[in-house]
């Protein structure tokens, strides 16, 4: 059961940012957030761009209609996480073995139907638990995206005011005022979540999977040219004192701690 829950949690990585578990991590998260905000800090609009903002806002209101992100999130959750959760809710033989305390190396060969039946014995509410988790996440994500929609719409309007001149915005709004233009505008962003679009994106995943090992191999080769992190033996007496003092430990505790950390890292590698 624990492994099943871990698998479900892993499926949410692309959608959920896990909350900080401690104050020091929260501080690091805040620094990262500040850095990202600074990286995308926009220049104030010029007077000319400000004058174009009403026309830009008019266009964006058609491109990004009210409730778009809520609908998009609900569709994404239904089409992507729904089937994924349902599949993850079917325990593996290893998961079932853990739940019943089975520790032998040789495990029975259980098909999907058998595993579902055994799971129903161990947890009769398993299906309800999965549905409750998915419904809660869908509602939470929809609410969150709904709150983000206003700021996104405002930012997009400013981007339009910067990228298009007054005549271009007038042309865009004239087109959007037609039945075809209004339909196109309202569907233009939603088309990115269409099964036709998403299907082709999923078909492209093997390209990414094939390139990833090569990319990582190249990174490893480049990393190997850099000096390795220093061990306790590499530190000067002054550096040992500084490190130990920063953590409120003795130099001898620092020596033992660094040795333990190095061994743990070596085993992990």
Task: Kindly give the confidence (pLDDT) of every residue in the chain, 269 residues in length, as a single tens digit, with 9 standing for 90 and above.
Answer: 444 444 444 444 444 444 444 456 677 778 887 887 788 888 999 999 999 999 999 999 999 988 888 888 888 777 777 777 777 778 888 888 888 887 777 878 888 888 888 888 888 888 888 888 888 888 888 888 889 899 999 999 999 999 999 999 999 999 999 999 999 998 988 888 788 887 888 888 888 788 888 778 777 788 888 888 899 999 999 999 999 999 899 999 999 999 999 888 888 76
Give the C-alpha separation, 96 to 90, whole Å.
10
Closest C-alpha among 68, 95, 70, 111 to residue 8: 95
How far, in Å, CA of 57 to CA of 77, rounded?
29
Which tokens sit at 112?
């999907």
CA distance 263 to 269: 10
Distance CA 235, CA 118 (A): 57
Q: For residue 117, give the nearest of 109, 106, 126 by alpha carbon.
A: 126
pLDDT at position 25: 65
- The string of DSSP letters for the chain reads -HHHHHHHHHHTTTT-PPPPSSHHHHHHHHHHHHHHHHHTPPPPPPHHHHHHHHHHHHHHHHHS-TTHHHHHHHHHIIIIIHHHHHHHTS--HHHHHHHHT---SS-----HHHHHHHHHHH-TTHHHHHHHHHHHHHHHHHHHHHHHHHHHHHHHHHHHHHHS-HHHHHHHHHHHTSHHHHHHHHHHTGGGGSHHHHHHHHHTHHHHHHHHHHHHHHHHHHHTTSPPPP-GGGS-HHHHHHHHHHHT--HHHHHHHHHHHHHHHHHH-
- Structural tokens at position 153: 């719409």
pLDDT at 24: 62
Determine the pLDDT at residue 9.
Answer: 44
Residues 6 or more apart in contact with residue 119 via CB below 8 angstroms: 89, 90, 91, 96, 126
CB 49 within 8 A of CB 162: yes
In degrees and rounded to multiples of 5, residue 203 shows phi and psi of -65, -25
Q: Kindly report the pTM of this predicted structure.
A: 0.62
């Amino acid at each position: 059961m624990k492994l099943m829950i871990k698998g479900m949690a892993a499926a949410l990585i692309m959608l959920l940012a896990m909350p900080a578990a401690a104050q020091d991590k929260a501080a690091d998260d805040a620094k990262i957030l500040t850095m990202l905000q600074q990286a995308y800090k926009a220049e104030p609009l010029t007077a000319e761009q400000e004058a174009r903002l009403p026309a830009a806002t008019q266009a964006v209101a058609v491109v990004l209609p009210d409730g778009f992100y809520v609908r998009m999130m609900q569709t994404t959750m239904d089409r992507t996480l729904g089937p994924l959760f349902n599949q993850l809710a079917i325990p593996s033989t290893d998961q079932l073995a853990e739940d019943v305390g089975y520790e032998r190396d040789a495990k029975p060969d259980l098909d999907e139907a058998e595993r579902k039946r055994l799971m129903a014995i161990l947890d009769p509410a398993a299906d309800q638990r999965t549905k409750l988790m998915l419904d809660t996440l869908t509602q939470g994500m929809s609410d969150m995206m709904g709150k983000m929609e206003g700021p996104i719409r405002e930012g997009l309007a400013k981007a339009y005011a910067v990228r298009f001149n007054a005549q271009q915005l007038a042309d865009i709004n004239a087109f959007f005022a037609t039945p075809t233009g209004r339909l196109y505008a309202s569907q233009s962003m939603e088309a990115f979540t269409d099964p036709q679009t998403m299907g082709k994106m999923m078909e492209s995943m093997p390209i990414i999977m094939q390139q990833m090992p090569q990319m990582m191999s190249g990174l490893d080769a480049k990393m190997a040219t850099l000096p390795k992190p220093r061990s306790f033996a590499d530190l000067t007496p002054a550096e040992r004192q500084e490190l130990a003092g920063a953590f409120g430990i003795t130099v001898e505790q620092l020596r033992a701690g660094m040795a333990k950390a190095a061994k743990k890292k070596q085993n992990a590698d």
